[in-house]
Chains A and B, each alone.
Chain A
Amino acid sequence: MKQFVKYFSWLFILLGVVSVVFVIVFIIHSTQKVADTRNDAAPSRRVYDYADVLTDSEEKELEILIRESEEKIRCDLVLVTIDEPIIEQYGYTSNTDAAWNFSMMNYADDFYDNNNFGYDKIHGDGALLLDNQYLAGTSDSQAGSWLSTCGRVYKRFSSSMIDDVLDDVDRYIGYDPFKAYKAYVESVTKKMLKENDPFIPFPLVVIVPFIISGVFIATHLKNKEGDRTTTSNTYVEPNSIHFNVRTDELINSHVTSVVISSGSSGGGGGGGGHRSSGGVSHGGGGHRR
């Protein structure tokens, strides 16, 4: 027992120190009440189904789901559906991807800003999904989804996370828009709930101690009878090695050559934030259909 305690003294000290820090941080955290400075300037409505793709009951159900999610993540979640030639509205004449992106982005950002959305303050934390149904499935389609992010959501969401949300929407939008919009709310909520998770995923925190213990046991189980400590020279009489013949005769030689092919590498692009016409910082991304 004495040997055991002595052997693990470092672990017990570490446990003690971490426990003390844990308790202190816990006390500080639990006494810090998050100020519920909810923004009252925004409308209570969250679902704007201008394209009329949802039934009244679906809208209500979505409103309830959004309200519950907003309480969990303290961010506004807005859904806007339209069926409009948005590219022309923003003064573009040709239906290019750039024109579509710019138009959708401006529409979404302006809608968010003009309605004073933001959970904590006007133009504060929140996200808005703009879904355009215009001429979906035709060659002149301007259909697609744009996710606009603001505040904490903007800080949290990378381009790939925005893509993930839009992928979730794309998965159902063709045959069940309600399911697609539900997926948007759930996907954003899920990602925001992990906002404070440390960089290391929790399963790793569980697995690593098992791996370390496994290595510890394996190292101590390694049981060798002994090492060989003689060499080929151990029993050699001093100065008795004598080479009567020791030759390395070159019998053939040849040189070959090959051309070194030069490789090239490609680059990647990334997305970033932007300012809306109202001067608010937004992030975002879209998927055309």
Chain B
Amino acid sequence: MIYTCNNCGGNMVYSPERQKMFCKYCGSEDSEQKYVSNEPVMSACPSCGAPIEIREYLSAFKCPYCDNHLIVDERIAGDYLPHLIIPFYLGIEDVKKILRDKFKRSVFAPNDFLSDARLNFMTGMYVPFWMYDYHVHGFYEGTGKKIRTWTSGNRQYTETKIYRIKRDMEVDFDKVPVDASIIMPDSTMDLMEPFHYGNLEEFKDCYLSGFQAEMYNMGVDELEERAVCKAKGDAESIMQSSINGYTGLVNDPSNKVMVERTDSKYALLPVWNYQYVYKNQTYPFYINGQTGKVVGKVPLSVKKVWAYGGTLCMGLLLVFTMIYQIFRWL
């Protein structure tokens, strides 16, 4: 599948800045036309006809020959049709600005780390997520102490009260997300959260034009353990926050939290990816395409560490020594 412009025939892409389909050739907006190939499996570019080998799980990509953005029909259909999507709200220029603001104090980063030449290689990708709804029922029993101390005359009094604490709590969780992409590191994707669900929409394939996308790599049941773990942990935290002011809390071993799945949805969520290569090592950065939250470790230039650290040390040494000598002379 490819989106073309009705006015000039160029490739139309979704523009996060405009929140519309856009033709970068003639500047037209929302003048798209969808071309769907008759072939059951995409093996050639519908635009230039070049034979293409599509990486496993990839559902939207750029043709390496004609640079047009293609969507693999069979990977967004049937069981692979996403229920929901959050379209990109941040374009590449927005993300460049966010990165430069975020790392403006990272003085030890290599000089070209935030250069246009490097940042232009950023790719926007729709990452597949499973979203789970849960009904959680938690039981807690334990004993805790409350200790109060006061002084009267020349005596100090300590009152110890021992309580039996009982909680039976029910809570519903809505759309606990777990990424279903093998190439995306789980812990990093967890740090991408939260996505604002107010922008969740029913899936439309036009949003994929102009970006990369993956279909889910793992099924809903395969990934559920991570979601259950998140819901269970959150429910336990909520229950614990209702138990206040106790010291020496002793929990009963019979305490439990039961998690029951009530629904699940397959969604695509927007993530920008910047791969910075420095001294043969890749430093991946992920930027939430909706909120702009950045996750990634800044590379360090050893030369800069020495230059900045050395300058500061020598400068201060000179300043302090001169001040010391001035005081000796005065």
Which residues in A have some Cβ–Cβ distance to B below 8 Å? 3-4, 7-8, 11-12, 14-15, 18-19, 21-22, 25-26, 28-29, 196-198, 200, 202, 205-206, 208-210, 212-214, 216-217, 220-221, 223-230, 232-237, 240-260, 262
B60-101: contact bitstring with A at CB < 8 Å (1 yes, 0 no)? 000000000000000000000000000000000000000000
Q: Which residues of B contact A25 (CB under 8 A)?
A: 326, 329-330
In the complex, B8 has a CB within 8 A of chain A: no
Known: A18-B319, A242-B171. A251 touches B330 (CB 8 A): no
Docked pose: A241 CA to B135 CA in angstroms: 10
Across the two chains, which residue of chain A brings its CB closest to B305?
Answer: A217
Q: Which of B257-312 contact A (CB under 8 A)?
A: 293-298, 300, 305, 307-312
In contact, B172 and A240 (Cβ under 8 angstroms): yes
Q: How many of B's residues come within 8 Å of A, CB to CB?
A: 77
Minimal beta-carbon separation of A27 from chain B (angstroms): 10
- Tell me the minimal C-beta distance from B241 to chain A in angstroms: 8
On chain B, the residues within 8 Å of A206 by CB distance are 317, 320-321
> What is the CB-to-nearest-CB distance from A230 to chain B, in angstroms, rounded to a whole number?
5
Is B254 an interface position by the 8 A CB rule? no
Shortest Cβ distance from A262 into B: residue: B154
Assess the A244–B163 pair: CB atoms within 8 A: no
Which segment, of B43-51, B214-222, B229-237, faces chain A?
B229-237
Residues of B within 8 A of A256 (CB): 157-158, 160
Q: Is the CB of A245 within 8 A of B166?
A: yes
User: Do A236 and B329 touch (CB < 8 A)?
Assistant: no
Quick one: which of B108, B151, B175, B330 contacts A235, CB cutoff 8 A?
A: B175
Interface residues of B, Cβ cutoff 8 Å to A? 105-108, 111, 143, 151, 154-176, 187-188, 190-191, 193-194, 230-231, 233-235, 237-238, 241-242, 293-298, 300, 305, 307-330
Is chain A's binding surface mostly helix, strand, loop or mixed?
Answer: mixed
Minimum-distance CB pairs A-B, first 10: A209-B316, A232-B237, A245-B168, A226-B295, A213-B313, A240-B172, A237-B172, A232-B234, A244-B168, A198-B327
> 28 interchain pairs (CB within 8 A)?
A4-B308, A14-B315, A21-B326, A206-B321, A209-B313, A209-B320, A213-B310, A213-B316, A220-B308, A223-B300, A225-B191, A226-B188, A226-B191, A228-B191, A232-B233, A235-B230, A236-B173, A241-B171, A245-B166, A248-B164, A251-B143, A251-B162, A252-B161, A254-B160, A256-B157, A257-B158, A259-B154, A260-B156
Q: Contacting A240 at CB < 8 Å: which of B155, B171, B313?
A: B171
B313-A7 in contact (CB<8A): no
The smallest C-beta distance from A18 to any residue of chain B, in angstroms, reads 5
Q: Take A11-B311, A241-B171 as given contacts and tell me if A22 and B155 are in contact as well, using a CB distance cutoff of 8 Å.
A: no
Asked if B323 and A245 make an inter-chain contact with CB atoms under 8 angstroms apart, the answer reads no
Bound state CA distance, A255 and B156, in angstroms? Answer: 10
A19:B322 contact, CB within 8 angstroms: yes
B154 contacts A251, C-beta separation under 8 Å:
no
Bound Cα distance from A200 to B321, whole angstroms: 11
Q: Quick check: B158 and A255 within 8 Å, CB to CB?
A: yes
Given contacts A18-B323, A212-B312, list 5 more A-B pairs with CB under 8 A.
Answer: A14-B315, A21-B322, A209-B316, A240-B170, A254-B160
Across the interface, B161 reaches (CB within 8 A) one of A14, A26, A253, namely A253
Nearest Cβ distance between residue B171 and chain A, in whole angstroms?
5
The answer to whether A236 touches B312 (Cβ under 8 A) is: no
A262 to chain B, nearest CB (A): 8
